[in-house]
Amino acid sequence: MGTVIQYQQRAHEERQQRWERIERAELCAQYGDLHAQGPSQRQAATVLARPRSTRQAWQAYAASIDECPTVVAFFPSVPGLAFLHRLVIALHLVCVEMGACGMRLVCLVLDLTGLNRFVGTSYGTPQRVNCRVEAAMVAYRREESERLAQEMPPKDITVAQDETFTGGLCLRGIEARSHSMLLEQVAQARAHDPWPRLMAQALSGLNGQVMQSTSAEAPGLLAYVAQHLGAPHSPDLCHVQHALSKAVSAPMAATQRAAAQAVAKAAETCKRIHERLAKATGEPAKRAPGRPPQTATSLEQVEQNVEAARHAHQRLAGQRETVPQSLRAIGHASHFVDVERGVRRNGKLIAGDIQCHIDTIRTIAQQAHLSEPCLERIEKAERVVPTMQATIAFVSGDGRQQGRQLDVAPPASYAVHAHLIPAFSLERVASTRTMTAGAPLRALAERLRPPLFAPDGTFGA
Protein backbone atom coordinates (compact mmCIF):
# COMPACT_ATOMS: atom_id res chain seq x y z
CA MET A 1 0.00 0.00 0.00
CA GLY A 2 2.82 2.41 0.87
CA THR A 3 4.61 1.66 -2.40
CA VAL A 4 1.50 2.57 -4.38
CA ILE A 5 1.08 5.85 -2.50
CA GLN A 6 4.73 6.78 -3.12
CA TYR A 7 4.36 6.01 -6.84
CA GLN A 8 1.23 8.16 -7.05
CA GLN A 9 2.97 11.05 -5.27
CA ARG A 10 5.98 10.82 -7.63
CA ALA A 11 3.68 10.75 -10.66
CA HIS A 12 1.82 13.80 -9.33
CA GLU A 13 5.09 15.68 -8.81
CA GLU A 14 6.15 14.92 -12.37
CA ARG A 15 2.83 16.23 -13.70
CA GLN A 16 3.20 19.44 -11.63
CA GLN A 17 6.83 19.96 -12.60
CA ARG A 18 7.68 23.42 -14.01
CA TRP A 19 10.43 23.06 -16.54
CA GLU A 20 13.20 25.62 -16.66
CA ARG A 21 13.06 27.38 -20.01
CA ILE A 22 16.65 26.61 -20.93
CA GLU A 23 16.19 22.94 -19.97
CA ARG A 24 13.00 22.83 -22.00
CA ALA A 25 14.77 24.38 -25.01
CA GLU A 26 17.62 21.88 -24.79
CA LEU A 27 15.18 18.96 -24.50
CA CYS A 28 13.22 20.19 -27.55
CA ALA A 29 16.48 20.38 -29.50
CA GLN A 30 17.30 16.81 -28.50
CA TYR A 31 13.81 15.67 -29.53
CA GLY A 32 14.32 17.33 -32.91
CA ASP A 33 17.74 15.72 -33.45
CA LEU A 34 16.43 12.24 -32.64
CA HIS A 35 13.31 12.69 -34.77
CA ALA A 36 15.48 13.74 -37.74
CA GLN A 37 17.34 10.42 -37.45
CA GLY A 38 14.16 8.40 -37.97
CA PRO A 39 12.89 7.24 -34.55
CA SER A 40 9.27 7.95 -33.65
CA GLN A 41 8.19 10.27 -30.86
CA ARG A 42 7.59 7.32 -28.57
CA GLN A 43 11.05 5.94 -29.24
CA ALA A 44 12.65 9.39 -28.75
CA ALA A 45 10.77 9.78 -25.47
CA THR A 46 12.10 6.41 -24.35
CA VAL A 47 15.67 7.38 -25.22
CA LEU A 48 15.40 10.69 -23.39
CA ALA A 49 13.48 9.16 -20.46
CA ARG A 50 10.78 11.81 -20.76
CA PRO A 51 7.03 11.34 -21.26
CA ARG A 52 5.83 11.64 -24.84
CA SER A 53 2.85 13.67 -23.61
CA THR A 54 5.19 16.39 -22.43
CA ARG A 55 6.56 16.84 -25.93
CA GLN A 56 3.02 16.81 -27.37
CA ALA A 57 1.90 19.47 -24.89
CA TRP A 58 4.79 21.72 -25.88
CA GLN A 59 3.95 21.30 -29.56
CA ALA A 60 0.30 22.11 -28.92
CA TYR A 61 1.24 25.25 -27.00
CA ALA A 62 3.59 26.42 -29.78
CA ALA A 63 0.84 25.88 -32.36
CA SER A 64 -1.56 28.03 -30.32
CA ILE A 65 0.74 31.09 -30.38
CA ASP A 66 -0.56 33.76 -32.76
CA GLU A 67 2.74 34.52 -34.45
CA CYS A 68 4.79 33.62 -37.48
CA PRO A 69 5.85 29.92 -37.23
CA THR A 70 9.48 30.87 -37.85
CA VAL A 71 9.41 33.30 -34.93
CA VAL A 72 7.67 30.73 -32.75
CA ALA A 73 10.36 28.21 -33.61
CA PHE A 74 13.21 30.66 -32.95
CA PHE A 75 12.48 32.16 -29.53
CA PRO A 76 11.87 28.86 -27.65
CA SER A 77 15.14 27.49 -29.08
CA VAL A 78 18.46 27.70 -27.22
CA PRO A 79 19.89 30.59 -29.35
CA GLY A 80 16.53 32.40 -29.38
CA LEU A 81 16.14 32.06 -25.64
CA ALA A 82 19.65 33.42 -25.07
CA PHE A 83 18.90 36.42 -27.30
CA LEU A 84 15.56 37.00 -25.56
CA HIS A 85 17.20 36.95 -22.13
CA ARG A 86 19.88 39.38 -23.29
CA LEU A 87 17.25 41.71 -24.76
CA VAL A 88 15.12 41.74 -21.60
CA ILE A 89 18.13 42.37 -19.36
CA ALA A 90 19.24 45.23 -21.65
CA LEU A 91 15.76 46.81 -21.47
CA HIS A 92 15.78 46.69 -17.68
CA LEU A 93 19.33 48.02 -17.44
CA VAL A 94 18.89 50.90 -19.91
CA CYS A 95 15.24 51.86 -19.36
CA VAL A 96 14.81 51.23 -15.63
CA GLU A 97 18.26 51.64 -14.10
CA MET A 98 19.88 54.20 -16.44
CA GLY A 99 16.86 55.96 -17.93
CA ALA A 100 14.65 55.73 -14.83
CA CYS A 101 11.53 55.42 -16.96
CA GLY A 102 9.97 52.63 -14.91
CA MET A 103 9.09 48.98 -15.51
CA ARG A 104 5.66 49.73 -16.96
CA LEU A 105 7.29 51.21 -20.05
CA VAL A 106 9.41 48.05 -20.38
CA CYS A 107 6.17 46.06 -20.30
CA LEU A 108 4.76 48.38 -22.97
CA VAL A 109 7.79 47.81 -25.22
CA LEU A 110 7.41 44.05 -24.88
CA ASP A 111 3.69 44.30 -25.67
CA LEU A 112 4.17 46.52 -28.74
CA THR A 113 6.91 44.30 -30.19
CA GLY A 114 4.87 41.11 -29.71
CA LEU A 115 7.44 39.66 -27.32
CA ASN A 116 4.72 39.34 -24.69
CA ARG A 117 3.93 36.01 -26.37
CA PHE A 118 7.25 34.70 -25.07
CA VAL A 119 7.91 36.86 -21.98
CA GLY A 120 5.59 37.61 -19.09
CA THR A 121 4.59 41.28 -19.06
CA SER A 122 2.35 41.47 -16.02
CA TYR A 123 3.90 43.80 -13.46
CA GLY A 124 5.05 41.04 -11.10
CA THR A 125 7.22 39.23 -13.65
CA PRO A 126 9.34 42.28 -14.70
CA GLN A 127 9.58 43.26 -11.06
CA ARG A 128 11.24 39.95 -10.17
CA VAL A 129 13.60 40.32 -13.14
CA ASN A 130 14.49 43.88 -12.12
CA CYS A 131 15.25 42.79 -8.55
CA ARG A 132 17.72 40.24 -9.91
CA VAL A 133 19.28 42.89 -12.19
CA GLU A 134 19.77 45.29 -9.27
CA ALA A 135 21.23 42.53 -7.09
CA ALA A 136 23.66 41.64 -9.90
CA MET A 137 24.68 45.30 -10.26
CA VAL A 138 25.39 45.60 -6.53
CA ALA A 139 27.39 42.38 -6.51
CA TYR A 140 29.35 43.43 -9.60
CA ARG A 141 30.21 46.81 -8.05
CA ARG A 142 31.43 45.17 -4.86
CA GLU A 143 33.54 42.59 -6.69
CA GLU A 144 35.03 45.09 -9.13
CA SER A 145 35.79 47.60 -6.36
CA GLU A 146 37.71 44.95 -4.44
CA ARG A 147 39.59 43.84 -7.56
CA LEU A 148 40.49 47.34 -8.79
CA ALA A 149 41.45 48.55 -5.32
CA GLN A 150 44.30 46.05 -5.28
CA GLU A 151 45.74 47.51 -8.50
CA MET A 152 45.02 51.15 -7.66
CA PRO A 153 48.09 53.44 -7.55
CA PRO A 154 48.35 56.03 -4.76
CA LYS A 155 45.94 58.85 -5.48
CA ASP A 156 44.68 62.06 -3.91
CA ILE A 157 40.87 62.09 -3.93
CA THR A 158 38.47 65.03 -4.08
CA VAL A 159 35.16 63.73 -2.79
CA ALA A 160 31.84 65.51 -3.45
CA GLN A 161 29.26 64.79 -0.75
CA ASP A 162 25.59 65.54 -0.46
CA GLU A 163 22.37 64.54 1.29
CA THR A 164 19.44 63.69 -0.97
CA PHE A 165 15.82 63.02 -0.06
CA THR A 166 14.44 61.08 -3.04
CA GLY A 167 12.70 58.11 -1.45
CA GLY A 168 14.09 58.98 1.97
CA LEU A 169 17.31 60.43 3.36
CA CYS A 170 20.37 59.14 1.50
CA LEU A 171 24.02 60.04 2.03
CA ARG A 172 26.07 60.17 -1.16
CA GLY A 173 29.75 60.61 -1.94
CA ILE A 174 31.34 60.68 -5.40
CA GLU A 175 34.93 60.97 -6.59
CA ALA A 176 34.90 64.25 -8.47
CA ARG A 177 37.33 63.42 -11.27
CA SER A 178 36.24 59.90 -12.27
CA HIS A 179 32.57 60.36 -11.23
CA SER A 180 32.83 57.06 -9.36
CA MET A 181 30.15 56.65 -6.70
CA LEU A 182 31.93 55.94 -3.43
CA LEU A 183 28.97 56.11 -1.07
CA GLU A 184 25.22 55.73 -1.50
CA GLN A 185 23.64 54.74 1.78
CA VAL A 186 20.25 55.30 3.41
CA ALA A 187 20.47 57.09 6.76
CA GLN A 188 18.01 57.72 9.56
CA ALA A 189 19.06 61.22 10.60
CA ARG A 190 20.59 64.27 8.97
CA ALA A 191 23.59 64.59 11.29
CA HIS A 192 27.35 64.18 11.17
CA ASP A 193 27.31 60.90 13.14
CA PRO A 194 26.70 58.49 10.20
CA TRP A 195 29.25 60.15 7.92
CA PRO A 196 32.52 58.94 9.57
CA ARG A 197 31.42 55.31 9.72
CA LEU A 198 29.94 55.17 6.21
CA MET A 199 32.81 57.05 4.54
CA ALA A 200 35.35 54.85 6.32
CA GLN A 201 33.63 51.79 4.87
CA ALA A 202 33.51 53.40 1.40
CA LEU A 203 37.22 54.30 1.44
CA SER A 204 38.44 51.05 3.00
CA GLY A 205 40.67 49.12 0.62
CA LEU A 206 41.23 52.11 -1.68
CA ASN A 207 44.81 53.25 -2.09
CA GLY A 208 43.87 56.90 -1.85
CA GLN A 209 43.64 59.79 0.56
CA VAL A 210 40.94 62.46 0.60
CA MET A 211 42.65 65.78 -0.06
CA GLN A 212 39.53 67.92 -0.43
CA SER A 213 35.79 67.75 0.23
CA THR A 214 33.15 69.60 -1.76
CA SER A 215 29.61 69.88 -0.45
CA ALA A 216 26.79 72.17 0.54
CA GLU A 217 26.81 74.06 3.82
CA ALA A 218 24.86 71.41 5.73
CA PRO A 219 25.95 71.49 9.40
CA GLY A 220 26.35 67.72 9.60
CA LEU A 221 28.62 67.63 6.57
CA LEU A 222 30.69 70.57 7.75
CA ALA A 223 31.11 68.98 11.19
CA TYR A 224 32.23 65.70 9.64
CA VAL A 225 34.79 67.39 7.39
CA ALA A 226 36.17 69.53 10.20
CA GLN A 227 36.26 66.89 12.95
CA HIS A 228 36.93 63.60 11.15
CA LEU A 229 38.08 64.03 7.56
CA GLY A 230 40.82 66.57 8.22
CA ALA A 231 40.76 67.93 4.66
CA PRO A 232 39.97 71.41 3.31
CA HIS A 233 36.30 72.03 2.54
CA SER A 234 35.24 73.62 -0.73
CA PRO A 235 31.74 75.09 -1.03
CA ASP A 236 29.47 73.88 -3.79
CA LEU A 237 29.07 76.63 -6.38
CA CYS A 238 25.69 75.23 -7.44
CA HIS A 239 24.22 75.77 -3.98
CA VAL A 240 25.52 79.35 -3.88
CA GLN A 241 23.89 80.14 -7.22
CA HIS A 242 20.71 78.32 -6.20
CA ALA A 243 20.42 80.33 -2.98
CA LEU A 244 20.80 83.60 -4.88
CA SER A 245 18.34 82.53 -7.56
CA LYS A 246 15.81 81.41 -4.95
CA ALA A 247 16.18 84.74 -3.15
CA VAL A 248 15.57 86.92 -6.22
CA SER A 249 14.17 85.16 -9.28
CA ALA A 250 10.74 84.01 -8.09
CA PRO A 251 9.93 87.16 -6.03
CA MET A 252 10.96 89.41 -8.90
CA ALA A 253 8.85 87.37 -11.31
CA ALA A 254 5.83 88.00 -9.06
CA THR A 255 6.70 91.71 -8.89
CA GLN A 256 7.00 91.90 -12.67
CA ARG A 257 3.63 90.21 -13.12
CA ALA A 258 2.09 92.76 -10.76
CA ALA A 259 3.74 95.56 -12.78
CA ALA A 260 2.33 94.09 -16.00
CA GLN A 261 -1.13 94.03 -14.45
CA ALA A 262 -0.68 97.66 -13.38
CA VAL A 263 0.22 98.60 -16.97
CA ALA A 264 -2.86 96.81 -18.29
CA LYS A 265 -5.10 98.46 -15.71
CA ALA A 266 -3.74 101.95 -16.40
CA ALA A 267 -4.09 101.42 -20.17
CA GLU A 268 -7.70 100.30 -19.70
CA THR A 269 -8.45 103.40 -17.63
CA CYS A 270 -6.88 105.61 -20.29
CA LYS A 271 -8.93 103.87 -22.98
CA ARG A 272 -12.20 104.49 -21.11
CA ILE A 273 -11.43 108.20 -20.72
CA HIS A 274 -10.65 108.52 -24.44
CA GLU A 275 -13.94 106.82 -25.27
CA ARG A 276 -15.75 109.17 -22.91
CA LEU A 277 -14.14 112.23 -24.56
CA ALA A 278 -15.01 110.98 -28.03
CA LYS A 279 -18.60 110.46 -26.98
CA ALA A 280 -18.80 113.90 -25.36
CA THR A 281 -17.37 115.57 -28.51
CA GLY A 282 -19.99 114.00 -30.78
CA GLU A 283 -23.01 115.06 -28.62
CA PRO A 284 -24.54 118.56 -28.12
CA ALA A 285 -23.12 120.37 -25.15
CA LYS A 286 -25.45 119.87 -22.19
CA ARG A 287 -23.80 121.03 -19.09
CA ALA A 288 -25.35 119.98 -15.81
CA PRO A 289 -25.37 122.43 -12.94
CA GLY A 290 -22.33 122.35 -10.69
CA ARG A 291 -18.57 122.46 -11.21
CA PRO A 292 -17.20 122.20 -14.76
CA PRO A 293 -15.70 118.75 -15.75
CA GLN A 294 -11.98 118.18 -15.38
CA THR A 295 -11.62 115.57 -18.14
CA ALA A 296 -8.51 117.10 -19.69
CA THR A 297 -6.74 117.17 -16.36
CA SER A 298 -7.76 113.57 -15.62
CA LEU A 299 -6.60 112.39 -19.06
CA GLU A 300 -3.19 113.94 -18.61
CA GLN A 301 -2.79 112.32 -15.19
CA VAL A 302 -3.87 108.91 -16.49
CA GLU A 303 -1.45 109.07 -19.42
CA GLN A 304 1.33 109.89 -16.97
CA ASN A 305 0.29 106.87 -14.87
CA VAL A 306 0.41 104.63 -17.94
CA GLU A 307 3.88 105.87 -18.84
CA ALA A 308 5.11 105.40 -15.26
CA ALA A 309 3.69 101.87 -15.10
CA ARG A 310 5.37 100.95 -18.40
CA HIS A 311 8.67 102.40 -17.22
CA ALA A 312 8.46 100.39 -13.97
CA HIS A 313 7.67 97.22 -15.92
CA GLN A 314 10.58 97.75 -18.32
CA ARG A 315 12.93 98.46 -15.41
CA LEU A 316 11.90 95.21 -13.67
CA ALA A 317 12.30 93.26 -16.92
CA GLY A 318 15.81 94.62 -17.35
CA GLN A 319 16.68 93.77 -13.74
CA ARG A 320 15.38 90.22 -14.17
CA GLU A 321 17.66 89.77 -17.17
CA THR A 322 20.61 91.02 -15.10
CA VAL A 323 20.10 88.41 -12.37
CA PRO A 324 20.87 85.27 -14.47
CA GLN A 325 23.77 87.12 -16.09
CA SER A 326 25.24 87.80 -12.65
CA LEU A 327 24.68 84.17 -11.63
CA ARG A 328 26.56 82.93 -14.68
CA ALA A 329 29.28 85.51 -14.05
CA ILE A 330 29.77 84.06 -10.55
CA GLY A 331 30.40 80.68 -12.15
CA HIS A 332 32.93 82.20 -14.57
CA ALA A 333 34.66 84.14 -11.80
CA SER A 334 35.06 81.07 -9.57
CA HIS A 335 37.81 79.62 -11.81
CA PHE A 336 41.42 80.40 -10.90
CA VAL A 337 42.08 80.87 -14.64
CA ASP A 338 40.47 83.72 -16.58
CA VAL A 339 38.33 81.91 -19.15
CA GLU A 340 38.54 84.86 -21.56
CA ARG A 341 42.29 85.59 -21.43
CA GLY A 342 43.77 82.30 -20.21
CA VAL A 343 45.80 83.83 -17.37
CA ARG A 344 45.86 82.81 -13.74
CA ARG A 345 44.05 84.87 -11.13
CA ASN A 346 44.65 85.07 -7.40
CA GLY A 347 42.08 84.33 -4.72
CA LYS A 348 41.54 87.95 -3.66
CA LEU A 349 40.70 89.05 -7.19
CA ILE A 350 38.31 86.12 -7.62
CA ALA A 351 36.59 86.83 -4.30
CA GLY A 352 36.28 90.50 -5.26
CA ASP A 353 34.62 89.62 -8.57
CA ILE A 354 32.20 87.22 -6.88
CA GLN A 355 31.38 89.82 -4.23
CA CYS A 356 30.74 92.41 -6.94
CA HIS A 357 28.18 90.17 -8.65
CA ILE A 358 26.49 89.40 -5.32
CA ASP A 359 26.30 93.13 -4.58
CA THR A 360 24.65 93.64 -7.97
CA ILE A 361 22.00 91.05 -7.11
CA ARG A 362 21.47 92.62 -3.68
CA THR A 363 21.03 96.08 -5.21
CA ILE A 364 18.41 94.71 -7.59
CA ALA A 365 16.60 93.04 -4.70
CA GLN A 366 16.59 96.27 -2.70
CA GLN A 367 15.34 98.33 -5.65
CA ALA A 368 12.55 95.81 -6.20
CA HIS A 369 11.63 96.11 -2.50
CA LEU A 370 11.89 92.37 -1.89
CA SER A 371 11.12 90.94 1.54
CA GLU A 372 13.56 90.53 4.40
CA PRO A 373 13.82 86.71 3.99
CA CYS A 374 15.00 87.26 0.41
CA LEU A 375 17.77 89.57 1.59
CA GLU A 376 18.72 87.04 4.28
CA ARG A 377 19.18 84.35 1.62
CA ILE A 378 21.54 86.66 -0.23
CA GLU A 379 23.53 87.21 2.96
CA LYS A 380 23.64 83.44 3.51
CA ALA A 381 25.17 82.94 0.06
CA GLU A 382 27.57 85.83 0.66
CA ARG A 383 29.00 84.16 3.77
CA VAL A 384 30.48 81.43 1.54
CA VAL A 385 32.71 83.86 -0.43
CA PRO A 386 35.69 83.65 2.01
CA THR A 387 35.57 79.86 1.80
CA MET A 388 35.57 80.06 -2.00
CA GLN A 389 38.65 82.30 -1.80
CA ALA A 390 40.30 79.76 0.51
CA THR A 391 39.52 77.01 -2.00
CA ILE A 392 41.29 78.90 -4.79
CA ALA A 393 44.26 79.44 -2.49
CA PHE A 394 44.33 75.72 -1.68
CA VAL A 395 44.27 74.78 -5.38
CA SER A 396 47.06 77.22 -6.19
CA GLY A 397 49.13 76.02 -3.26
CA ASP A 398 48.69 72.38 -4.23
CA GLY A 399 49.76 73.25 -7.78
CA ARG A 400 52.90 74.97 -6.53
CA GLN A 401 53.71 72.00 -4.30
CA GLN A 402 53.41 69.55 -7.17
CA GLY A 403 55.46 71.91 -9.35
CA ARG A 404 58.28 71.87 -6.81
CA GLN A 405 58.30 68.09 -6.94
CA LEU A 406 59.14 68.27 -10.65
CA ASP A 407 62.46 69.93 -9.78
CA VAL A 408 62.68 71.97 -12.98
CA ALA A 409 64.52 75.20 -13.75
CA PRO A 410 62.73 78.54 -13.13
CA PRO A 411 61.92 79.23 -16.83
CA ALA A 412 60.22 75.85 -17.18
CA SER A 413 58.55 76.19 -13.80
CA TYR A 414 57.13 79.57 -14.81
CA ALA A 415 55.87 78.12 -18.09
CA VAL A 416 54.13 75.30 -16.22
CA HIS A 417 52.25 77.64 -13.90
CA ALA A 418 51.65 80.54 -16.30
CA HIS A 419 50.75 78.65 -19.49
CA LEU A 420 50.57 74.87 -19.22
CA ILE A 421 48.28 74.60 -16.17
CA PRO A 422 45.91 77.33 -17.51
CA ALA A 423 45.71 75.49 -20.85
CA PHE A 424 44.67 72.24 -19.20
CA SER A 425 42.30 74.11 -16.90
CA LEU A 426 40.56 75.73 -19.88
CA GLU A 427 40.10 72.32 -21.49
CA ARG A 428 38.65 71.03 -18.23
CA VAL A 429 36.14 73.88 -18.11
CA ALA A 430 35.31 73.34 -21.80
CA SER A 431 34.46 69.69 -21.09
CA THR A 432 31.65 70.85 -18.76
CA ARG A 433 29.99 72.93 -21.48
CA THR A 434 28.36 72.24 -24.81
CA MET A 435 30.48 71.84 -27.91
CA THR A 436 29.57 75.33 -29.13
CA ALA A 437 30.15 77.05 -25.78
CA GLY A 438 33.39 75.16 -25.12
CA ALA A 439 34.94 75.77 -28.56
CA PRO A 440 36.45 79.21 -27.66
CA LEU A 441 38.02 77.74 -24.51
CA ARG A 442 39.59 74.85 -26.40
CA ALA A 443 40.86 77.23 -29.08
CA LEU A 444 42.44 79.45 -26.41
CA ALA A 445 44.06 76.39 -24.79
CA GLU A 446 45.51 75.37 -28.17
CA ARG A 447 47.03 78.83 -28.58
CA LEU A 448 48.68 78.64 -25.16
CA ARG A 449 50.23 75.19 -25.44
CA PRO A 450 51.99 74.85 -28.84
CA PRO A 451 54.57 77.65 -28.35
CA LEU A 452 55.85 75.82 -25.26
CA PHE A 453 56.72 72.72 -27.29
CA ALA A 454 58.14 74.48 -30.33
CA PRO A 455 61.83 73.78 -31.12
CA ASP A 456 62.82 77.09 -29.55
CA GLY A 457 60.18 76.91 -26.81
CA THR A 458 60.58 76.24 -23.10
CA PHE A 459 59.88 72.51 -23.44
CA GLY A 460 61.40 72.16 -26.89
CA ALA A 461 64.31 70.13 -25.56
* pLDDT tens figures, 75-107: 888 888 888 889 999 999 999 988 888 889 999
Same domain, 263 and 368: yes
| pLDDT per position as a tens digit, 14-62 | 444 555 777 777 777 776 666 667 777 677 667 766 776 776 677 777 7
Same domain, 241 and 372: yes
Q: Which of 142, 162, 191 is the last residue of a domain?
A: 142
CATH number at residue 200: 3.30.420.10
The answer to whether residue 205 sits within a structural domain is yes
Q: Which residue in 56, 74, 82 sits closest to 114, CA to CA?
A: 74
pLDDT at 10: 47
- Within 8 A by CB and 6+ apart from 363, the residues are none
pLDDT at 9: 53
* Cα 451–chain centre separation: 38
- Within 8 A by CB and 6+ apart from 447, the residues are 342
Q: Which residue in 428, 453, 452 sits closest to 442, CA to CA?
A: 428
| pLDDT per position as a tens digit, 285-294 | 455 555 555 5
Interatomic CA distance for residues 48 and 30, integer angstroms: 8
pLDDT at 11: 46
Same domain, 309 and 243: yes
**8 A C-beta contact, residue 254 and residue 248:** no
DSSP 358: H
156 phi, psi to nearest 5 deg: -90, 130
Q: How far is CA 102 from CA 114, 123, 124, in A?
A: 19, 11, 13
Same domain, 199 and 136: no
Same domain, 174 and 228: yes
Q: Which amino acid is at 235?
A: P
Burial class of 362 by CB neighbour count within 10 A (0 to 12, 13 to 18, 19+): buried
Q: How many distinct structural domains can be found in the chain?
A: 4
Same domain, 214 and 259: no
Q: Which residue in 123, 114, 33 sits closest to 78, CA to CA?
A: 33
The answer to whether residue 439 sits within a structural domain is yes
Same domain, 191 and 222: yes
| Residue segments in the chain with a per-residue pLDDT below the cut of 70 | 1-19, 31-36, 41, 44-45, 48-49, 52, 55-56, 280-297, 460-461
pTM of the complete model: 0.63
Q: Which of 95, 110, 142 is the last residue of a domain?
A: 142
pLDDT at 397: 83
Interatomic CA distance for residues 61 and 42, integer angstroms: 19
Q: Residue 448: which domain range?
A: 408-461
- Within 8 A by CB and 6+ apart from 156, the residues are 208, 209, 210, 211
Same domain, 339 and 357: yes
pLDDT at 4: 44
* Cα 55–chain centre separation: 52
Same domain, 175 and 224: yes
Same domain, 425 and 441: yes
Other Cβ atoms less than 10 A from the Cβ of 447: the count is 13
The answer to whether residue 338 sits within a structural domain is yes
| pLDDT per position as a tens digit, 289-322 | 555 555 555 777 877 888 888 888 888 888 888 8
The answer to whether residue 190 sits within a structural domain is yes
**8 A C-beta contact, residue 231 and residue 212:** yes
Same domain, 251 and 372: yes
Q: How far is CA 34 from CA 2, 41, 46, 78, 452, in A?
A: 37, 9, 11, 17, 75
The answer to whether residue 400 sits within a structural domain is no
Q: Which amino acid is at 126?
A: P
| pLDDT per position as a tens digit, 349-364 | 888 889 999 999 999 8
Helix locations, 66-123, DSSP H: 69-74, 78-91, 103-112
